[in-house]
């Protein structure tokens, strides 16, 4: 028969040291990974000029829309997960008072945050009065330059600060 080895107390002490070292290394690795993810997508919305809360028909907030005019970007933050039906997406439109027709701004995320590039012309229009409308569109967005689906959410534009 083979007898089991009886480890010494020094061996157990060495094992404990390595366990703690491994745990510390794992925590450090996780912290560095989180820092790398945050650094890759730094917030650049310190100078927000326009905001809107897009709401459903019962006035419940669904998305927060922020425009960083200098960056020509919109940040769309989901306030309530709102998955679109299969094969459909939510598309954001700007309705302006001067009757130039709706201006497409981009596809909204069903959850989380999405940044959407905005043309300088649309950024200027966003800075004026108007309303945001979200329509239900086919996957990939409206097949033309106008909404093809129903308006399902709305939000008024407001100046920040």
Structure confidence by residue, pLDDT tens digits, 15-43: 788 888 888 888 888 888 777 765 655 44
pTM: 0.68
The CATH class, in words, for 50-159 is: mainly beta
Share of the chain above pLDDT 70, in %: 81
DSSP notation for the chain: -PPPP---HHHHHHHHHHHHHHHHHHHHHHHHHHHHHHHHS----SS--EEEEEE-TT--EEEEEEEEGGGTEEEEEESS--PPPTTEEEEEEEEETT----EEEEEEPSSSEEEEE--HHHHHHHHSSEEEEEEEEETTS-SSSS--S-EEEEEEEEE--
Segment 148-157, tens digit of pLDDT: 999 999 998 8
């Amino acid at each position: 028969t083979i007898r089991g080895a009886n480890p010494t107390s020094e061996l157990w002490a060495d094992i404990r040291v390595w366990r703690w070292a491994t745990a510390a290394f794992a925590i450090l690795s996780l912290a560095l990974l989180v820092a790398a993810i945050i650094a890759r997508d730094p917030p650049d919305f310190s100078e927000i000029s326009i905001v809107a809360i897009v709401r459903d028909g019962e006035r419940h907030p669904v998305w927060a829309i922020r425009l960083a005019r200098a960056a020509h970007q919109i940040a769309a933050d989901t306030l309530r997960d709102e998955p679109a039906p299969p094969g459909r997406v939510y598309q954001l439109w700007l309705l302006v008072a001067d009757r130039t027709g709706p201006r497409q701004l981009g596809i909204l995320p069903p959850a989380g945050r999405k940044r959407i590039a905005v043309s300088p012309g649309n950024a200027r229009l966003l800075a004026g009065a108007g309303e945001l409308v979200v329509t239900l569109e086919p996957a990939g967005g409206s097949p033309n330059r106008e909404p093809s689906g129903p308006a399902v959410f709305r939000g008024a534009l407001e100046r920040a600060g």
